[in-house]
Structure 1
Amino acid sequence: MSKLHYITRPSSLKENAPLLIMCHGYGSDENDLFSFASELPEEFMIISLRAPYTMQPYGNAWYAINFDAEKGKWSDNEQAKQSVKLIAEFIDYACGTYAVDANNVTLLGFSQGTILSYAVALTYPEKVKNIIALSGYINVDILPEAIEPSDVAHLNFFCSHGSVDQVIPVDWAKKTPAFLEALNINHVYKEYPVGHGVAPQNFYDLKAWLDKYR
């Protein structure tokens, strides 16, 4: 049984379907990114997860973001690491429960969901193939101390960010290409003239990228 609540869109294939798992942002839920599902290729088995921590009055989070007068804004990295493990365990659960191809798993994250998608891919690279990283950044504090390039050589990343993002500064995202290049990881990085959201052109580009790497 899964520790995470989720919703699904079945694949048109009876077996070996590519699997796409969605991880929403801070304060949202599993229905947010699921609105993309109808626009994505029908052969994908799509699963949208709900983050484990319930917020008040509504919404969910993968980890706490605290606002402290002394520390400023800071993330609970221990909670984040626990959620990374939960997502990794969910991938195993999904591959054992549904008729999907365990060698063709894509993570699609937004904001906090992207931060965790990066961490899952770089901590458990054997579990994933593609990562669509929307409006997030790489938090090195929740990654392994050492990443072996040969372990991550098969990964493909589509990374995008709004150039006027008021929630996660674009300067944080701009560090991503150099990080991935240092590990010789195949990646695309794009910026769009929007805030903390997904522009229509961004969605069009990620769909074209997914067609190439699915």
Structure 2
Amino acid sequence: MSALIYRERPANGTPEGLLILHHGRGADENDLLGLADVLDPERRLHVVTPGGPLQVPGWPGKHWYVVPRVGFPDHDTFHAAYEKLARFHDETWERTGTTPENTVFGGFSMGSVMSYSLGLGPDRPAPAGIMAFSGFIPTVDGWQPDTDRDTKVFIAHGRQDPVMDIHFARDARDLLTNAGLDVTYNESDAAHHIDPAHIPAAVKFLTTTTDRTLPTT
């Protein structure tokens, strides 16, 4: 068992897919639950929001890993979180009857880092999509992004972000686009938060990404 605490918002009826939202540093499993109805107003998807495994002295809330330097997660805590989150994803697919092929990983800030990490993990199944709000593709020993996969990516970032500079989003866009992935990129003059101006594009991305995973007749 992954032992991660989580919240969830069920779909209306049989879910057409799964959306897993990973919170940012200092938040918890409750933080992004309200985003479920914003991104999926028709409640087509089963939405799950896990909480990070760490509590860092001097910091409120939960964390996925220790931050010695932005962009470069601490090796040990990153890999420990990676393993726990991988088990959580596997358990969630089994429990909900969904699959990686109809799953989107989303997150804000540190949660975007975990979405990239599991969504592009070389030892992990490829999800249908990744939604990264104000995050980055990490640089950490023992992990490299696997870009040879059919995963669509949505990136949204603020040019005035004082925590994670806009270059992280642009670098991720360039890396993934050059690798041949389908990337939807948005930036604005926002700071370190989810810009409401990016929500319509995010809703469209989520809808089209999960729609393409439905079986055809």
- Secondary structure of 1:108's aligned partner: strand
Give 2:118's aligned residue.
Answer: 120
- TM-score, normalisation: structure 2: 0.86
Of 93-102 and 5-14, the range deviating more from structure 2: 93-102
Q: Which residue of 1 aligns with 2:96?
A: 98
Which residue is equivalent to 1:24?
A: 23
Q: Is the 8 A contact 2:108 2:132 kept in 1?
A: yes
State yes or no: 1:211 paired with 2:207.
yes
1:177 corresponds to which of 173, 177, 181: 173
The CA deviation at 1:131 is 0.5
Alignment partner for residue 59 of structure 1, among 58, 61, 64?
61
Task: Rate the CA distance shift 1:143–1:104 in 2: closer, same or farther, 3 A.
Answer: farther
Contact kept? 2:26, 2:59, Cα under 8 Å: no
Q: Which consecutive residues of structure 2, in runs of 5 or more, have no partner in the other structure?
A: 211-217
Give the partner amino acid of 1:196: H
Q: Which residue of 1 aligns with 2:46?
A: 45
1:116-195 matches, within 5 Å, as 116-123=114-121, 124-141=123-140, 144-145=143-144, 147=146, 149=148, 152=149, 154-195=150-191
SS in 1 for 2:183: strand
Q: Tell me the distance in 1 between the aligned counterparts of 2:185 and 2:176.
A: 10
The TM-score, its normalising length taken from structure 1, stands at 0.87
Deviation at 1:181, TM superposition (A): 2.0
Note if contact 1:25-1:110 (Cα within 8 Å) is conserved in structure 2.
Answer: yes
Q: Distance in 2 between matches of 1:193 and 1:142?
A: 33
The answer to which structure has the higher strand fraction is 1
Residues 57, 147 of structure 1: CA spacing in aligned structure 2 closer, same or farther, 3 A cutoff? closer
Paired residues of 1:111 and 1:134 also in contact (CA < 8 A):
yes
> How many residues align structurally?
206
* Other-structure match for 1:88: 86
Q: CA deviation at 1:125?
A: 4.9
Amino acid at match of 1:105: T
**1:158–1:74 distance in 2 versus 1, CA, 3 Å:** closer
Gaps of 5+ in 1: none
Aligned AA (1:100):
T
- The alpha carbon displacement at 1:127 in A equals 4.4
Pair 1:66–1:104, CA change in 2 (3 A): same
